[in-house]
């Protein structure tokens, strides 16, 4: 992998990740851009104790542009985009409309490929590995920023999810706090550790799932399963078999095995509802241990956390979405319309489709 860092016309950082070591990235951003102005701030809810990012400047962000005006495609002639070069393998750049900025963190965009009509599932294993390497590098770099406590790599895919740019891409959020979902996991890890005399909760869950009926697919170093208490109709968790706290700690064997397993999982997701259905909308979310202090979690260390990816779709059946209505949105109590065992069986069935 070759990494080349440059600056866009408004001063934002852009980084090319190339498969070839002889790639030259010297194209200049020719757009007449003014410096970005953001209004991001983080406020604490006094009743719940969680954080809310207030980012009113995002109302003006690009919204469903036509394909020939996509800002994530390479620059071509007089059609100028966020990527100055005429081609790329993987690109990461600072979001022009970030939810978090300055002392409140940082937001980046990850373009998986220059092909506008592609998807992550259509990438080659070599390309998918390059994305993994980019995620890992950005996790490392962002973790050293003084305001950053947790790094979150994720992909929103599909208009139903709320995606406003159809080009295959994901995002990276660098939070100045430990996110509420991660905090809940860490508290459960601490409670389990105390109740069992030191056992790791993630290890226990993984051992139980490996022995059960919800495993969807398994590689030499990774396993994908529908969790026992899945929140979403089709939800799969992907774990490395050797517990590590973050992407940085993955060994070469796990990195090599990842593209094959993950690409197969995404391709199965697209086949859940049949060959005539549009691509399945989904969210793919990497969960990594925070880089900040963990004193509030009763003796839990970073190494007690288990890196994993959670993949889920909001589509519950053909042509129907799972909406977060009263119980989910009002009380955070999910109601799943599909038994996790049935979802796992369906995802195994579509392997040969």
The whole model's pTM is what? Answer: 0.96
Task: Return d(Cα 292, Cα 250) in angstroms, integer.
Answer: 20
Average pLDDT over residues 139-146: 97
> Is 151 buried (19+), middle (13-18) or exposed (0-12) by CB count in 10 A?
buried
Q: Are 293 and 252 in contact (CB under 8 A)?
A: no
Rg (CA), the chain: 20
Average pLDDT over residues 229-254: 98
- Kindly state the tokens that stand for 47: 């009743």
Task: Return d(Cα 119, Cα 142) in angstroms, integer.
Answer: 26
Q: Are 282 and 141 in contact (CB under 8 A)?
A: no
pLDDT, one tens digit per residue, over 6-59 is 999 999 999 999 999 999 999 999 999 988 888 889 999 999 999 999 998 787
Which of 167, 169, 192, 221 is catalytic? The answer is 169
Long-range contacts of 50-54 (CB under 8 A, 24+ apart): 50/180, 51/175, 51/177, 51/180, 53/99, 53/100, 53/104
- Kindly state the tokens that stand for 116: 């506008």
Average pLDDT over residues 300-327: 95
pLDDT at residue 40 in the model: 87
Residue 236 CB neighbours (<10 A): 29
- Is residue 187 pLDDT above 90, yes or no? yes
Task: Return d(Cα 309, Cα 319) in angstroms, integer.
Answer: 26
| Half-sphere exposure (Cβ direction) of 339: Cα atoms closer than 13 Å | 5
Q: How far is C-alpha 191 from the chain's CA centre?
A: 27
Residue 318 CB neighbours (<10 A): 10
State yes or no: is 221 an active-site residue.
no
Angle between helices 125-143 and 252-269 (to 10 degrees): 120
């Amino acid at each position: 992998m070759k990494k080349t860092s440059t600056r866009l016309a408004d001063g934002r950082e852009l980084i090319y990740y190339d498969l070839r070591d002889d790639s030259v990235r010297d194209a200049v951003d020719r757009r007449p851009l003014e410096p970005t102005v953001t209004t991001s701030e983080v406020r604490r809810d006094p009743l719940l104790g969680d954080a809310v990012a207030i980012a009113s400047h995002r109302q003006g962000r690009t919204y469903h542009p036509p394909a020939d005006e996509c800002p994530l495609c390479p620059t071509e002639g007089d059609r100028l985009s966020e990527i100055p070069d005429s081609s790329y393998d993987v690109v990461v750049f600072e979001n022009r409309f970030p939810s978090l900025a300055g002392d409140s963190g940082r937001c980046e965009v990850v373009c998986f490929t220059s092909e506008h009509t592609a998807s992550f599932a259509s990438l080659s294993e070599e390309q998918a590995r390059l994305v993994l390497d980019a995620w890992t590098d950005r996790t490392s770099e962002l973790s050293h920023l003084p305001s950053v406590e947790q790094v979150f790599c994720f992909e929103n895919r599909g208009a139903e999810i709320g995606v406003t740019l159809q080009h295959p891409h994901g995002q990276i959020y660098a939070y100045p706090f430990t996110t509420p979902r991660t905090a809940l996991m860490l508290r459960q890890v601490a409670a389990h550790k105390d109740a069992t005399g030191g056992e790791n909760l993630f290890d226990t869950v993984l051992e139980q799932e490996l022995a059960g009926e919800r495993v969807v697919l398994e590689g030499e170093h990774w396993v994908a399963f529908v969790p026992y208490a899945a929140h979403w109709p089709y939800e799969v968790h992907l774990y490395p078999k050797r517990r590590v706290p973050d992407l940085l700690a993955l060994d070469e064997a796990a990195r090599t095995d990842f593209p094959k397993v993950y690409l197969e999982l995404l391709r199965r997701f697209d086949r859940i509802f049949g060959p005539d259905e549009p691509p399945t909308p989904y969210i793919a979310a990497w969960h990594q241990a925070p880089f900040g202090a963990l004193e509030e979690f009763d003796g839990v260390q970073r190494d007690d956390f288990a890196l994993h990816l959670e993949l889920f779709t909001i589509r519950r059946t053909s042509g129907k979405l799972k909406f977060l209505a009263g119980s989910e949105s009002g009380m955070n109590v999910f109601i799943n319309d599909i038994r996790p065992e049935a979802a796992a069986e369906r995802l195994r069935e579509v392997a040969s489709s």
